[in-house]
């Protein structure tokens, strides 16, 4: 299945802003970060379709996974 | 006296006299300093029903006991007064280097009273105080005023001033210091302007006494270590500044667009922190004793200056449907020059755009060559300048803030404000604790009275479900109370991403020689919160104003990741009143005030 991945801040370095990944059925966000060689510790915010995501949830065709390192402000 | 300078400088602008008074140490420890102590003195000396521009209103410029000490990011000061925008007590916070310099001159607080017969500047060099005519800088923009006064001042003096907006009594004007730092919110600049005061130049030669220097060194090292190791304060903020939030908030579908009509901006990338860093950033800037250095210094064409911050980028960007970063940088620059609050200025332009969309503002009223269409980037700077100088029909109305402008056009609901103060850059329909915080903030629409974005979006100190209702009242209270303490101590709120209440207690105790526990600090914050609430109630701000714009209560988010949600404030407010020790109607119970000895 095809998953859209959107990366932000320092996670873009050498990876780009937005990627389409082809993953097997039942793939999870944990598989996404493995595929992109992003250490779990570098992920501060994980969203699936804009909602709080879980590393182990099953993704569906066309899902958008957004990944942020620790950032903040206000 | 440790931490505190021990002195208050009371200035009578009506007859250009002054006197120094000893700080009441017991009262200071109870209300800490800064926002808390300033509010306490307001409650004692300024009747809550006073008109903000009446000479009987006072402006209290207050440092905290940690201002000017080695405590990390301890360079903050507060401007406390009765707000002309909200009618509540106002306390607007600023960084830079002016606050610490005031402490070095030997004062914890300045109390500005009365009204000068003509424009005046105040020069403070330790115990030498001088009143000088300000005729030559009145009407001048902030950078020009600062350069002229720097020539007249001792070397390395720090300068605070208002811009044309404050002189023109704009209800959304700021007090500026060090050129581009702002005590931005609630129209505090206009109160200074109403007193015919243009600038305060300060130079100091002393340093605050520290109770236990060795202990402080150790505690500062520990807290600086935490700041460095924390992903937000050690990497995120230094690298991208606050603007990095643009994409996060937008991805969650809570990035208010076109004056909160929608909440996902499809062109957000063009105004993101990443885009700013890649294309416009010249350098980073830091405030006094700050290891974070979140400040940006950006350049767009011929314009360069401090900022822009996240809230500003949003207000001039998505809120107005604008994705041109150059125009945003320029609008931010001109807000600083005019001495305008960037959040209120941007949201007021957004409200004008909606009034135009709905046919309330007509083409005939709009100045020639300007536009109020969504996305009208080319007009931004002109609107800011007109607002600052009250030029033209629309510019004059914008200077009053969005609520009064929208009310004039018979559509006050278009003003996205709480207690008439414009809301910042997070749609509370998808961040429910933040909605409760907006509604109950003692200075109206504001994110920095309790930054619920931290747990609800960023996951700090722990991740909360942003759509949940349960437990939010408790979280909001703790955040509001801790923030009241931080604001009173003279520290920057951003340290709270890395330092907890226990860490603040350690810093405070090392400086003051006290033995405060974290519970004591939260109790001081609770006391300050109730004092402000009590003042507001006496000022006629009744609890029915603990609410949000109709749109956020009734209209579900139309699309994007937070689609279908409203704020559900009515489900959280009763619990909030209860845990605050207030009646069902939102009035502090006598026993609550007694327990906190307000």
- Per-residue pLDDT at B314: 98
- Positions of chain A with pLDDT under 70: none
Share of chain B above pLDDT 90, in %: 100
Nearest to B511 by CA among B42, B45, B69, B126: B69
Residues of B in contact with A69 (CB under 8 A): 231, 235-236
Closest chain A residue to B264, measured at CA = A50
Contact: A8, B274; criterion CB under 8 Å: yes
> Over the stretch B336-379, which tens digit does the pLDDT of each residue have?
999 999 999 999 999 999 999 999 999 999 999 999 999 999 99
> Over the stretch B330-344, which tens digit does the pLDDT of each residue have?
999 999 999 999 999
> Over the stretch B586-598, which tens digit does the pLDDT of each residue have?
999 999 999 999 9
- Per-residue pLDDT at B247: 96
Closest chain B residue to A16, measured at CA = B274
CA–CA min distance B242, chain A (Å): 4
Residue B124 pairs in a beta bridge with B129, B202
> Over the stretch B514-570, which tens digit does the pLDDT of each residue have?
999 999 999 999 999 999 999 999 999 999 999 999 999 999 999 999 999 999 999
Task: Look up the domain containing A38 and give its range.
Answer: 2-68
Query: How does DSSP assign B392-461, residue by residue?
Result: HHHHHHHTT-HHHHHHHTT-GGGS-EETTEEP-S--GGG-HHHHHHHHH-TTSS-STTS-THIIIII--S
> Over the stretch B77-106, which tens digit does the pLDDT of each residue have?
999 999 999 999 999 999 999 999 999 999
Predicted confidence band at B577 (pLDDT cuts at 50, 70, 90)?
very high
- Per-residue pLDDT at A72: 80
Contact: A71, B236; criterion CB under 8 Å: yes
| ipTM entry | 0.97
Nearest to B483 by CA among B499, B471, B472, B468: B499
Considering only CB atoms, A70 lies closest to which of B235, B252, B560, namely B235
Considering only CB atoms, A45 lies closest to which of B242, B248, B253, namely B248
What is the domain partition of chain B in residue ranges? 7-203, 243-421, 428-497+517-595
Sign of the torsion angle spanned by Cα atoms B83, B85, B86, B87: positive
CA–CA min distance B236, chain A (Å): 4
Closest chain B residue to A68, measured at CA = B248
Q: Are strands A2-7 and A18-22 parallel, antiparallel or unpaired?
A: antiparallel
Whether B243-421 and B428-497+517-595 share one fold: the answer is no
Q: Which residues lie closer than 8 Å to B519 by C-beta, 6 or more apart?
A: none
Domain membership of residue A59 (yes or no) is: yes
Please check whether residue A8 touches B, CB under 8 A.
yes
Predicted confidence band at B289 (pLDDT cuts at 50, 70, 90)?
very high
Contact: A68, B248; criterion CB under 8 Å: yes
Domain membership of residue A73 (yes or no) is: no
Nearest to B83 by CA among B162, B16, B169: B169
Contact: B242, A47; criterion CB under 8 Å: no
> Over the stretch B169-221, which tens digit does the pLDDT of each residue have?
999 999 999 999 999 999 999 999 999 999 999 999 999 999 999 999 999 99
Tell me which CATH code domain B428-497+517-595 carries.
1.10.599.10
Contact: B493, A74; criterion CB under 8 Å: yes
What fold does the segment set B7-203 form as a domain? Aldehyde Ferredoxin Oxidoreductase;  A, domain 1 (3.60.9)
CATH classification of the domain holding A14? 3.10.20.30
When the pLDDT of each residue in chain B is averaged and rounded to a whole number, the result is 98
Contact: B237, A44; criterion CB under 8 Å: no
Mean pLDDT of B153-177: 98
- Per-residue pLDDT at A71: 84
Cβ atoms of residues B317 and B254 within 8 Å: no
- Per-residue pLDDT at B304: 97
Closest chain B residue to A43, measured at CA = B231
Q: Is A27 helix (H, G, I), strand (E, B) or coil?
A: coil
Q: What's the domain count of chain A?
A: 1
Could you say which of 1.10.569.10, 1.10.260.40, 3.20.20.140, 1.10.1060.10 is the CATH number of the domain covering B243-421? 1.10.569.10
CA–CA min distance B211, chain A (Å): 32
Cβ atoms of residues B85 and B66 within 8 Å: no
- Per-residue pLDDT at B329: 98
pLDDT at B160 over 80: yes
pLDDT at B418 over 90: yes
Spatial distance between the Cα atoms of B326 and B369, rounded to a whole number of angstroms: 19
Q: Is B390 helix (H, G, I), strand (E, B) or coil?
A: coil
Mean pLDDT of B228-251: 94
Cβ atoms of residues B74 and B289 within 8 Å: yes
Spatial distance between the Cα atoms of B1 and B457, rounded to a whole number of angstroms: 41
Mean pLDDT of B41-63: 98
Angle subtended by helix axes B142-152 and B325-338, to nearest 10: 50
Spatial distance between the Cα atoms of B145 and B303, rounded to a whole number of angstroms: 18
């Amino acid at each position: 299945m095809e998953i859209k991945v959107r990366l932000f801040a320092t996670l873009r370095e050498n990876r780009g802003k937005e990627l389409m990944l082809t993953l097997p059925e039942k793939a999870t966000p944990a598989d996404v970060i493995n595929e992109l060689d992003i250490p779990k510790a570098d992920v501060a915010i994980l969203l699936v379709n804009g909602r709080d995501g879980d590393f182990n949830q099953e993704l569906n065709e066309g899902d958008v996974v957004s990944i942020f390192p620790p950032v903040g402000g206000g | 006296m440790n931490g505190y300078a021990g002195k208050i400088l009371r200035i009578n602008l009506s007859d250009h006299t002054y006197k120094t008074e000893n700080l009441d140490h017991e009262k200071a420890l109870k209300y800490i300093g800064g926002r808390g102590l300033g509010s306490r003195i307001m409650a004692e000396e300024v009747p809550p029903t006073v008109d903000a521009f009446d000479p009987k209103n006072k402006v209290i410029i207050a440092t905290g006991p940690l201002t000017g000490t080695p405590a990390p990011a301890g360079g903050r000061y507060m401007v406390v007064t009765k707000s002309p925008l909200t009618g509540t007590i106002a306390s607007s916070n600023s960084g830079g280097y002016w606050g610490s310099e005031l402490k070095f001159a030997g004062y914890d607080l300045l109390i500005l009273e009365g009204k000068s017969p003509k424009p005046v500047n105040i020069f403070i060099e330790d115990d030498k105080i001088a009143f000088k005519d300000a005729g030559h800088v009145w009407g001048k923009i902030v950078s020009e005023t600062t350069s002229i006064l720097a020539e007249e001042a001792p070397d390395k003096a720090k300068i605070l001033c208002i811009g044309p907006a404050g002189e023109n009594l704009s209800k959304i004007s700021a007090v500026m210091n060090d050129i581009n730092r702002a005590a931005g919110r609630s129209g505090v600049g206009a109160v200074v302007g109403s007193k015919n005061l243009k600038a305060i130049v300060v130079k100091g030669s002393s340093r605050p006494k520290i109770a236990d220097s060795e202990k402080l060194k150790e505690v500062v090292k520990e807290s600086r270590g935490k700041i460095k190791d924390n992903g937000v304060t050690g990497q995120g903020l230094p690298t991208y500044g606050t603007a990095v939030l643009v994409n996060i908030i937008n991805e969650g579908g809570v990035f208010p667009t076109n004056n909160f009509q929608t909440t996902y901006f499809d062109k957000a990338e063009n105004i993101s922190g990443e885009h700013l860093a890649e294309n416009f950033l010249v350098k980073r800037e830091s405030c006094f004793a700050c290891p974070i250095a979140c400040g940006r210094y950006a350049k767009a064409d011929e314009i360069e200056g401090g900022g822009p911050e996240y809230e500003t980028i949003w207000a001039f960007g998505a809120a107005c449907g604008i994705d041109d970063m150059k125009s945003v940088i320029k609008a931010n620059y001109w807000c600083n020059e005019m001495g305008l609050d960037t959040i209120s200025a941007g949201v007021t332009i957004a409200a004008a755009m909606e009034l135009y969309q709905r046919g309330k503002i007509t083409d005939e009223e709009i100045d020639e060559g300007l536009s109020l269409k969504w996305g009208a980037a080319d007009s931004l700077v002109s609107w800011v300048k007109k607002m600052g100088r009250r030029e033209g029909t629309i510019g004059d109305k914008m200077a009053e803030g969005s609520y009064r402008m929208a009310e004039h056009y018979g559509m006050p609901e278009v003003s996205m404000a709480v207690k008439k103060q414009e809301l910042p850059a997070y749609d509370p329909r998808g961040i429910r604790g933040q909605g409760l915080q907006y509604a109950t903030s003692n200075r109206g629409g504001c994110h920095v009275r309790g930054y619920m974005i931290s747990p609800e979006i960023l996951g700090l100190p722990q991740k909360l479900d942003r759509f949940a209702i349960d437990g939010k009242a408790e979280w909001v209270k703790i955040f509001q109370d801790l923030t009241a303490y931080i604001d009173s101590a003279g520290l920057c709120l951003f340290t709270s991403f890395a330092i907890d209440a226990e860490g603040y207690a350690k810093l405070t105790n090392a400086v003051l020689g006290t033995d405060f526990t974290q519970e004591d600090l939260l109790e001081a914050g609770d006391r300050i919160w109730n004092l402000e609430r009590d003042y507001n109630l006496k000022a006629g701000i009744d609890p029915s104003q603990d609410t949000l714009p109709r749109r956020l209560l009734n209209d579900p988010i139309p699309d994007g990741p937070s689609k279908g949600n409203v704020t559900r404030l009515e489900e959280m407010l009763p619990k909030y009143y209860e845990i605050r020790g207030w009646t069902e109607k939102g009035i502090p119970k006598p026993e609550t005030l007694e327990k906190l000895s307000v």
